[in-house]
Structure 1
Amino acid sequence: MKKLLLVSAVTVLVLIMAACGSNNSANNNAPENGAATETSAAAANEVVIKASNWEFDKEVYTIKKGEATTITLDADGVHGIEIPALNVKLTNGKSQDVTIADAGEYELHCNIPCGNGHTQMVAKIKVE
């Protein structure tokens, strides 16, 4: 019984660790639906958010107020991002065009459980 429990625990741990280490090569750059979606021509500015094992490459990403900007997620492993205040949700390789009218800071976080450090995957979008 103890051996079965140990094998089960190790298997679960390996699966959790593999979630952040796998590579999803799907690439779809079509914008997703949301209040911040820009439906006209491609945005002039781009912010690429890079996610890896339990962290983003920056703590703060800056966007200019009122300018069309493409937000893209480039993840090493299985990650997604959500910016609740802007109605933005992206998975690896996807982009969304946004034009943010209000200056301020907006929290973003990983919205796909990716392992032990998942809850620390938080950053900000700063709109100036």
Structure 2
Amino acid sequence: MHKKIALLLTLTALALALAACGGNNDNNAEPSGSAGASSPAAETAASQEIVINATTWEFDKAEYAIPKDTPVKLTLNNTKGAHGIEIEGQDIEIRGNKSEVVTLPAGTYEIRCSIMCGTGHKQMVSKLVVS
């Protein structure tokens, strides 16, 4: 009897963990952070767009590169699951399928998933090289 209850609880916990990163592409997610955020006119002035595709516990690239001191449109595309990105050391956070125009000084920054998305959440890291 105890084995059946333990199995049921284990399966329930597994289902909940997997559902945390399951297909919630909410286009009405919270607005993104404010640093680097610009008016719609500034979005048209962005020199380029970088699309970051987020899937279950990973970004599509280990490293992204943008020019320093230049407005760049960062777009987060949740291809599988509900994710966000934050750029460490900067006040930049993008949640859901949103974009933000950012201008950063030269350096190497860490991009992390900002929404707890399950057991692989801590490994959801990439680099942003600004030069």
Band of TM-score, shorter chain: 0.7 to 0.9
Aligned partner letter, 1:87 = D
Does structure 2 retain, via aligned residues, the 8 Å contact 1:83–1:89?
Answer: yes
Q: C-alpha distance in 1, partners of 2:71/2:9?
A: 49
Question: Which TM-score applies when normalising by structure 1?
Answer: 0.86
**Percent of residue pairs bearing the same amino acid type:** 44
Q: Which residue of 2 aligns with 1:44?
A: 47
Q: Which residue of 1 aligns with 2:57?
A: 54
Does structure 2 retain, via aligned residues, the 8 Å contact 1:31–1:37?
Answer: no
Q: C-alpha distance in 1, partners of 2:58/2:26?
A: 19
State how 1:89-108 maps to structure 2 within 5 Å: 89-100=93-104, 102-108=105-111
Cα deviation code 1:54-103 (max 9, x no counterpart): 11110111111111111111012111111131211111211111111x20
Q: Which residue of 1 aligns with 2:91?
A: 87
Q: 1:92 to 1:11 in 2, by over 3 A?
A: same
Does structure 2 retain, via aligned residues, the 8 Å contact 1:74–1:92?
Answer: yes
The alignment of Structure 1 onto Structure 2 pairs a total of residues equal to 126
Aligned partner letter, 2:97 = G
The Cα of 1:34 is off from its aligned counterpart by: 2.2
Runs of 4+ residues over 6 Å off in structure 1: none
Unaligned runs of 5+ in 1: none
Does structure 1 retain, via aligned residues, the 8 Å contact 2:57–2:121?
Answer: yes
Q: Which residue of 1 aligns with 2:127?
A: 124
Unaligned runs of 5+ in 2: none
Q: C-alpha distance in 2, partners of 1:92/1:48?
A: 13
Question: Which TM-score applies when normalising by structure 2?
Answer: 0.84
